[in-house]
């Protein structure tokens, strides 16, 4: 049994405590007094320095554990291999591409891919990377050169701090197909037909992806702002984007006209 210092959220308060961690369970001392078997953990996610675990006994209970990175890493390494999840041994490269640029120092790591209710984890002794399902943009079977041979891999694209990141998973082809189907099924709420947007709409979406603002898009595609607004409405209604800034157009009031007229006079005098 190893004890680690943590803060656990209980009754909307953070309790400073020492969590006892054994091979198969966590023991939370008073005032919480709970034993959590790893196999009863249904979901594991991470937000900043908080590890969130959902445990199913009679009802589902969510525990939020706050600690330093080293402690959280220790907990993840213990919980993820035994929790209630779809899990398989695999090689992964995460991240492999960031913002469309391949990461040169990226390499294959031996570990496992763990799919829980809210996300996909890439787990090795050194790394535990979580990809929330809600951030997954695409999953596809593709080919990569592995040791000089074109090899089938799964490529998972997801958003991380507004940047599109891709990770790759490599395992035997039969397992790969099962994992691919499982991941596709898990993320099927994100699937679309591909015909929802026409040519110009798609160009607008791609320019938004590239980081262009409304003004740049209007200039580049030579479209009026009303048309761009209509395309934005379409993209928004399909759930493909969210509004981050609302730009306003204004017209001067009589007071404003007087002010600017006076300002011009004083400049010319």
Partner 1 sequence: MGKILIVDDTLFMRTLVKNILFTGGHSIAGEAGDGEEAIAKYKELKPDLVTMDIVMPKMNGIEALKGIKAIDPAAKIIMCTAVGQEQMVKLAIKSGAKGYIVKPFQAPKVLEEVKNVLAS
Nearer CB in complex with partner 1: 163/262: 163
Under rule CB under 8 A, residue 262 binds partner 1: no
Minimum CB separation from partner 1 for residue 203, in Å? 6
Instruction: Identify which range of 66-74, 112-120, 140-148, 241-249 contacts partner 1 by CB under 8 A.
Output: 140-148
Under rule CB under 8 A, residue 31 binds partner 1: no
For residues 42-81, which are near partner 1 according to CB under 8 A?
A: none
Per residue, the 3-state secondary structure of the chain, as one string, reads CEEEEEEEEECCEEEEEEEEECCCEEEECCCCCEEEEHHHEEEEEEECCEEEEEEECCCEEEEEEECCHHHHHHHHHHHCCCCCCEEEEEEEEEEEEECCEECCCCCCEEEEEEECCCEEEEECCCCEEEEEHHHEEEEEEEEEEECCEEEEEEEEEEEECCEEEEEEEECCHHHHHHHHHHHHHHCHHHCCCCCCCCHHHHHHHHHHHHCCCHHHHHHHHCCCHHHHHHHHHHHHHCCCCCCCCCCCCCCCCHHHHHHHHHHHHHHHC
Nearer CB in complex with partner 1: 69/105: 105
Under rule CB under 8 A, residue 146 binds partner 1: no
The correct pick among 163, 191, 196, 198 for binding partner 1 (CB under 8 A) is 163
The correct pick among 3, 24, 60, 140 for binding partner 1 (CB under 8 A) is 140
The correct pick among 2, 49, 57, 210 for binding partner 1 (CB under 8 A) is 210
Instruction: Identify which range of 41-49, 66-74, 139-147, 247-255 contacts partner 1 by CB under 8 A.
Output: 139-147
For partner 1, the binding residues (CB under 8 A) are 97-102, 140, 142-145, 150, 155, 163-164, 203, 206-207, 209-212, 216, 220
């Amino acid at each position: 049994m190893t004890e680690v210092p943590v803060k656990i959220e209980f009754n909307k308060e953070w309790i400073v405590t020492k969590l006892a961690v054994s091979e198969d369970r966590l023991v939370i001392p008073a005032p919480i007094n709970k034993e959590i078997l790893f196999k009863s953990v249904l979901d594991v996610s991470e937000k900043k320095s908080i590890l969130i675990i959902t445990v199913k006994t009679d009802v589902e209970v969510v525990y939020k554990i706050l600690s330093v990175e080293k402690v959280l890493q220790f907990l993840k390494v213990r919980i993820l291999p035994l929790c209630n999840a779809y899990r398989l041994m695999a090689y992964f490269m995460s991240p492999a591409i960031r913002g469309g640029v391949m990461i040169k120092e990226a390499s294959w790591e031996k570990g496992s891919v763990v799919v829980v209710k809210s996300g996909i984890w890439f787990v090795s002794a050194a790394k535990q990377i979580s990809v929330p399902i809600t951030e997954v943009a695409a999953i596809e079977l593709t080919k990569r050169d592995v040791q000089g041979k074109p090899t089938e891999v799964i490529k998972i694209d997801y958003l991380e701090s507004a940047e599109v990141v891709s990770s790759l998973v490599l395992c035997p082809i039969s397992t790969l197909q099962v994992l691919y189907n499982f991941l596709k099924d898990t993320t099927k709420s994100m699937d679309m037909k591909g015909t929802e947007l026409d040519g110009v709409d798609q160009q607008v979406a791609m320019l938004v992806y590239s980081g262009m603002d409304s003004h740049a898009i209007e200039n580049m595609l030579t479209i009026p702002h009303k048309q761009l607004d209509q395309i934005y409405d379409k993209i928004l209604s399909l759930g493909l984007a969210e509004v981050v800034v609302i730009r306003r157009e204004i017209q001067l009031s009589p007071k404003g006209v007087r002010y600017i007229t006076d300002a011009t006079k004083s400049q010319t005098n």
